[in-house]
Copies of this chain bind each other. A is one copy, B any other.
Amino acid sequence: MTSLDKRTTSLDLDRNGDLSEATQAYFDKCLEKLGLVPNVLLAYAFDEKKLRAFTEMYNELMLGDSGLSKLEREMIAVVVSSLNRCYYCLAAHGAAVRQLSGDPMLGEIMVMNYRAAALSPRHRAMLEFAERLTETPGKIDEPDRAALRQAGFSDRDIWDIAATAAFYNMSNRVASAVDMRPNDEYHAMAR
C-alpha cells in the first residue's frame, strides 16, 4: 500500500482523508507495471482533482495515439527538461529514454546536450524546434514550422511536438517551484 506520508516536495500540503478507491487502484497499477509510484503522482495527490487533471493530460500526451513514437516524446521531454535544468524530470524521463531505446548512452546524451548525439534529420529537426520553443517562445514563426514539415512531419505531428515540449515547460516549472524529489529508483534503471 502506498503511503502518502512520504514527502515528495518541500511544501507542506495537507490531505483530507484517504485516497479514493480509484486513485488507490491507479497507484497500485503503477506499482505493478513500473515497480514504483512516480513521486509526481504522490505530490499531486493532496488534491485528487488536480491529480486527475494532470494524469489525464499526461497519459493522453505521452501514451495516446500520435505520429510520434513514445521514445520520441520522451526525447523531447528530456531535452526540454535539460534546458530548464529540472532535476525531477531529467531523472524520471532520462530513465524512460534509456529504457525505451535500450540505449543507455542515448538517455545520457539527451540529459547532457542533445547536439552531441548522432541523430537522424527527423530527430534533429524535432529537438531543435523543442529547444527554440523552450528558449524563445515569442520568436517561433512560420520558418520554424516549415523546417518541421521539411523533415517529414505532418501538421498533426507539429501539434504533438509543440504540445509535448510545452507540457514539460509546465511540468519542469511545477517541479522546480515545489522542489519535487524523484524516486531514487530512477537513477539505477536501465543503465
Q: How many copies does the complex hold?
A: 6
A91 touches B112 (CB 8 A): yes
Residues 68-98 of chain A, each 1 if its beta carbon lies under 8 Å from chain B, else 0:
0000000000000010111110110000000
In the docked arrangement, what's the CA distance between A169 and B80, Å? 12
Partner-contacting stretch, out of A24-32, A34-42, A135-143: A135-143
Using Cβ atoms and an 8 Å threshold, which residues of chain B touch A10? 142, 145
The answer, yes or no, to whether A113 is at the interface (CB within 8 Å) is yes
The answer, yes or no, to whether A173 is at the interface (CB within 8 Å) is yes
The answer, yes or no, to whether A18 is at the interface (CB within 8 Å) is no
B166 touches A174 (CB 8 A): yes
Q: How many whole Å from A22's CB to the nearest CB in chain B?
A: 15
Given contacts A57-B53, A163-B50, A177-B162, contact A112 B87 (CB under 8 A): yes
A128-148, CB < 8 A from B: 129, 133-134, 137-142, 144-145
Using Cβ atoms and an 8 Å threshold, which residues of chain B touch A156? 11, 13-14, 46
A113 touches B86 (CB 8 A): yes
Using Cβ atoms and an 8 Å threshold, which residues of chain B touch A87? 109, 112-113, 115-116
The answer, yes or no, to whether A152 is at the interface (CB within 8 Å) is no
Q: How many whole Å from A164's CB to the nearest CB in chain B?
A: 10
Residues 154-188 of chain A, each 1 if its beta carbon lies under 8 Å from chain B, else 0:
01101101110111011111101111000010011
Can you list 15 pairs linking A and B with CB atoms under 8 Å apart? A10-B142, A49-B64, A56-B56, A85-B137, A88-B116, A90-B113, A91-B108, A105-B184, A111-B112, A113-B138, A115-B141, A145-B179, A162-B173, A166-B177, A169-B170
What residues make up the interface of A, taking CB atoms closer than 8 Å to B? 10-14, 46, 49-50, 52-54, 56-57, 60-61, 64, 82, 84-88, 90-91, 104-105, 108-109, 111-113, 115-116, 129, 133-134, 137-142, 144-145, 155-156, 158-159, 161-163, 165-167, 169-174, 176-179, 184, 187-188, 191
